[in-house]
Amino acid sequence: MAHYDLHCHSTHSDGLLTPSAVVARAAARGVDVLALTDHDEVSGLDEAQAAAADSGIELVSGAELSVSWGDHTLHVVALRIDPDNAELNEGLEAIRVGRASRARRIGDALAAAGINGAFEGAMNYVTSERLVSRTHFARYLVEAGFARETKDVFKRYLTRGNPGYVPHPWATLSEAVGWIHAAGGQAVIAHPGRYKIDSSGMRRLLAEFRDLGGDALEVLSSSHTPAQYIEFATYARAFELRASCGSDWHGPGESWMEFGELPEMPFGVVPVWTGW
- Which of 61, 66, 228, 247 is close enough to bind ligand AMP by CB under 6 A? 66
> How many C-beta neighbours within 10 Å does residue 178 have?
18
8 or 233, CB closer to ligand AMP?
Answer: 8
Q: Cα separation of 63 and 187, whole Å?
A: 10
153 or 233, CB closer to ligand AMP?
Answer: 153
Q: Cα separation of 171 and 125, whole Å?
A: 25
Q: Cα separation of 102 and 162, whole Å?
A: 16
With CB under 5 to 8 Å by kind, the binding choice for 218 among ligand AMP, Mn ion, none is none
248 near Mn ion (CB under 5 A):
yes
12 near Mn ion (CB under 5 A):
no
Number of residues this chain uses to bind Mn ion (CB under 5 A): 5
114 or 196, CB closer to ligand AMP?
Answer: 196
Applying CB under 5 A, the span of 58-66, 109-117, 202-210, 232-240 interacting with Mn ion comes to 58-66
Site for ligand AMP, residues 98 to 157, rule: CB under 6 A: 133-135, 150-151, 154
Footprint of ligand AMP (CB under 6 A): 14, 39, 66, 133-135, 150-151, 154, 250
